[in-house]
């Protein structure tokens, strides 16, 4: 060792794996800072899905011929890969859905209506994505379940004292909170939340749509009861998401959707559901998408989640320094533990106008309320711009964003 500080990963080499990053936007090199909405795809994912379509596609679980057996094996191998990725005890705890939203709705319907009792409560937080807010509002409206909303501090962190107060009466059946905010970048203390919920007799669900991309998540260490994430943010395809749940909880939950492949037996009088996970996977599943997700998991696992986290921590520190130095720019949220998501407002400029101006120089950022309207009310902003990082994001791109924002300030003033 020569004592030189080396990067956590070779970003420039990694960028070569993503064909779209060579794209020009308005004649400018693409600076893609919207990975929090949907990440770009490496060649390994694209090739795996193409190969599946070209050489081994057939429906799964139903055909007694070679292609169907090969397709079924690939689909179930993806389930095993997810189980390893999450350090799940049993691959049967992995249920494939279409995305995180579908996974949360599955829990809200099957656990909320099928296991929880009227008079119990669900606790969410102010910083939740609508996907982890609206399903519980719907449950509250239809099933007599109370909805309690835990506060967020001015720094953008979950108010743990308020969460404990919401749990104090022992009526909470489920705590459903984000593992990492898609607006603030805040990483919540998941293991501490789970311990607090369990101490008050509640189960806990984490929305890991952002967190599973940026750092290692371990179901045994978190002691979660349910965990969800989505493939398209983890450099995989759209159309596939994951619900992980404790096997005993999934066993106790009724099916969410009825149809083919989720049954053991159907008669004129009724049906008997299949064991988990098939019980929750009615109809033809996302077969090729599962193969793509498997390839994405293999891709990030080969790089190493620890290396990805170290790279993004360095990016976060760099971005906080650069963005905080820009006059009239407000960075939303100052959590001590945060991932690569930065929402900001520039003076009186509307977020959509600012986003359009940045697009003109090739920078892709998100503008709006980011499917988190209650949080925007809490922080006092009608809308914000959001830059979100991926494993392919560079320090130079952060510098370019800061330069473009400085120019935009002059333009809007």
138 within a domain of the structure (yes/no): yes
What pLDDT is recorded for position 72?
97
Domain hosting 392: range is 11-39+304-412
Residues 26 and 133 in one domain: no
371 is known as an active-site residue: yes
With a pLDDT cut of 90, the percent of the chain lying above it is 97
CATH number at residue 103: 3.40.640.10
Please give the pLDDT value at position 5: 41
In a domain, 147, yes or no: yes
Identify whether 175 is part of a domain: yes
> Is 5 a member of any domain?
no
Last residue of one domain, picked from the residues 276, 302, 328: 302
| Same domain flag for 298 and 311 | no
Same-domain status, 113 and 250: yes
CATH number of residue 29's parent domain: 3.90.1150.10
Q: 157-190: per-residue pLDDT in tens?
A: 999 999 999 999 999 999 999 999 999 999 999 9
Residues 247 and 174 in one domain: yes
Could you tell me if residue 361 is inside a domain? yes
**77/52 Cα distance (integer angstroms):** 13
pTM: 0.96
Residue 85 lies in a domain: yes
Query: Are 290 and 370 part of one and the same domain?
Result: no
In a domain, 2, yes or no: no
Q: What string of pLDDT tens digits covers the 413 residues of the chain?
A: 333 344 568 999 999 999 999 999 999 999 999 999 999 999 999 999 999 999 999 999 988 999 999 999 999 999 999 999 999 999 999 999 999 999 999 999 999 999 999 999 999 999 999 999 999 999 999 999 999 999 999 999 999 999 999 999 999 999 999 999 999 999 999 999 999 999 999 999 999 999 999 999 999 999 999 999 999 999 999 999 999 999 999 999 999 999 999 999 999 999 999 999 999 999 999 999 999 999 999 999 999 999 999 999 999 999 999 999 999 999 999 999 999 999 999 999 999 999 999 999 999 999 999 999 999 999 999 999 999 999 999 999 999 999 999 999 999 98
pLDDT at 6: 40
The reply to whether 66 and 185 lie within a common domain is yes
Which is catalytic among the residues 46, 198, 371, 409?
371
In a shared domain, residues 333 and 261: no
- Statement to judge: residues 154 and 298 lie in one domain: yes
Domain end position, chosen among 235, 270, 302 = 302
150 and 275 fall within a common domain: yes
If asked whether residues 311 and 271 sit together in one domain, one would say no
Tally of domains within the chain: 2
Whether residue 129 sits in one domain with residue 233: yes
Q: What pLDDT, on the 0 to 100 scale, is given for residue 8?
A: 66
pLDDT recorded at residue 63: 84
Residue 62 has a pLDDT of 82
Select from 267, 302, 337 the last residue of a domain.
302
Asked, for residue 3, whether it belongs to a domain, the answer is no
Whether residues 61 and 192 fall in one domain: yes
């Amino acid at each position: 060792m020569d004592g030189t500080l080396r990067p956590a990963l070779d970003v420039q080499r990694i960028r070569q794996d993503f064909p779209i990053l060579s794209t020009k936007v308005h004649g400018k090199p693409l600076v893609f800072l919207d990975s929090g909405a949907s990440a770009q795809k490496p060649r390994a994912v694209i090739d795996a899905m193409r190969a599946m379509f070209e050489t081994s596609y057939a429906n799964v679980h139903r055909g007694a011929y070679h292609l169907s057996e090969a397709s079924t094996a690939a689909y179930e191998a993806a389930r095993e890969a997810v189980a390893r990725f999450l350090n799940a005890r049993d691959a049967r705890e992995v249920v494939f859905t279409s995305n995180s939203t579908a996974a949360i709705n599955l829990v809200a319907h099957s656990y909320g209506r099928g296991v929880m009792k009227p008079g119990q409560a669900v606790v969410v937080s102010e910083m939740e994505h609508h996907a982890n807010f609206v399903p519980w509002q719907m449950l509250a409206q239809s099933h007599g379940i109370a909805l309690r909303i835990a506060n967020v501090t001015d720094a953008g962190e979950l108010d743990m004292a308020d969460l404990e107060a919401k749990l104090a009466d022992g009526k909470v059946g489920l705590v459903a909170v984000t593992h990492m905010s898609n607006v603030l970048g805040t990483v919540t203390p998941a293991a501490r939340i789970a311990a607090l919920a369990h101490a008050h007799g509640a189960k806990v669900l984490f929305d890991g749509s952002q967190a599973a991309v940026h750092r290692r998540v371990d179901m045994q260490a978190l002691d979660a009861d349910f965990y969800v994430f989505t493939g398209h943010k983890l450099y995989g395809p759209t159309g596939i998401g994951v619900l992980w749940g404790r096997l005993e909880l999934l066993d106790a939950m009724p099916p969410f959707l009825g149809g083919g492949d989720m049954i053991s037996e159907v008669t004129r009088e009724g049906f008997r559901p299949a064991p988990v996970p098939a019980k929750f996977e009615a109809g033809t599943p996302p077969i090729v998408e599962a193969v793509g997700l498997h390839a994405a998991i293999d891709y990030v696992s080969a790089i190493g989640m620890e290396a990805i986290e170290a790279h993004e921590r360095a990016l976060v520190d760099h971005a906080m320094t650069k963005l905080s130095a820009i006059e009239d720019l407000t960075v939303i949220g100052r959590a001590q533990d945060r991932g690569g998501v930065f929402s900001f407002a520039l003076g009186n400029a509307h977020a959509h106008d600012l986003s359009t101006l940045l697009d003109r120089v090739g920078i892709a950022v998100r503008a709006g309320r980011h499917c988190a309207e209650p949080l925007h009310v809490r922080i006092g902003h009608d809308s914000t711009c959001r830059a979100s990082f991926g494993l392919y994001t560079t320090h130079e791109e952060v510098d370019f964003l800061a330069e473009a924002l400085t120019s935009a300030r002059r333009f809007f003033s």
